Structure 1
């Protein structure tokens, strides 16, 4: 109920369900990427780091893979969800400027990089909202 007595779905407890669904949906984005790297480490992880020009690509790929598997699980479970959301947001920021520099591309590749860049900014926005308001009632607590 609002201060005026009007009913709103979010105020009636559906916010906790929305937070759970949102955590799971955002977490799955990262978990899927991490599991792809686990299943084909050389081609999906190391090769990507080499293409991006990162130093020590095998080490970076291992760290990124571990992060993309472990941290989303924390987020989805709601266990240390706020710090997990911040870690994923900062990781996404770094990944965006390493891998989606659309201004360096032309033609059809520009479009894909452009939309991935802005999609990642939107995902970061969702993660920062989760970090600010917390995981909701349906979450494991440390």
Structure 2
């Protein structure tokens, strides 16, 4: 199962699921996306909305297709770090709410780590494929 190519693709789709799902939702519900900006303390702007779609959908696509996966993973990791800091500031809370937000914060740290692993793993796969492509090109 670990050597099956489909496992790799399914894992990339699963890792990026929260991002592409959120991006598709935001694409079809732009006003809700702008309200989400405001809820995290950011000024709602169409430029930020476009950038968010680019990062969530473009980053996911880069990882799923393994085309500039390092860039997609990096963009999603930076986005996740910023969003986590803004939306899940558990250190400002008390009691059960603090505990819940701390758990969400830690889950997001795990997602960031997953992006680092994805970038490393996909880079290795890509670098192994490159010599084979060049030797088959007749060069």
TM-score (norm. length: structure 2): 0.77
Structure with higher RCO (Cα < 8 A, 6+ apart): 1
Aligned counterparts of 2:66 and 2:108: Cα–Cα separation in 1: 21
> Segments of 4+ in structure 1 off by > 4 A?
none
In structure 1, the residue matched to 2:104 is 116
Match of 1:30 among 16, 19, 24: 19
- Within 5 Å, give how 1:25-64 maps onto structure 2: 25-43=14-32, 45-64=33-52
Unaligned runs of 5+ in 2: 131-139
Aligned-pair Cα RMSD in Å? 2.5
Unaligned runs of 5+ in 1: 1-8
In structure 1, the residue matched to 2:137 is none
In structure 2, the residue matched to 1:128 is 116
Taking a change above 3 Å as real, the CA distance of residues 39 and 107 of structure 1, as seen in their structure-2 partners, is farther
Aligned residue pairs total: 127
Match of 1:79 among 64, 67, 72: 67
Taking a change above 3 Å as real, the CA distance of residues 112 and 57 of structure 1, as seen in their structure-2 partners, is farther
Aligned counterparts of 2:14 and 2:106: Cα–Cα separation in 1: 18
TM-score (norm. length: structure 1): 0.75
Aligned counterparts of 1:57 and 1:112: Cα–Cα separation in 2: 29
Taking a change above 3 Å as real, the CA distance of residues 87 and 113 of structure 1, as seen in their structure-2 partners, is same
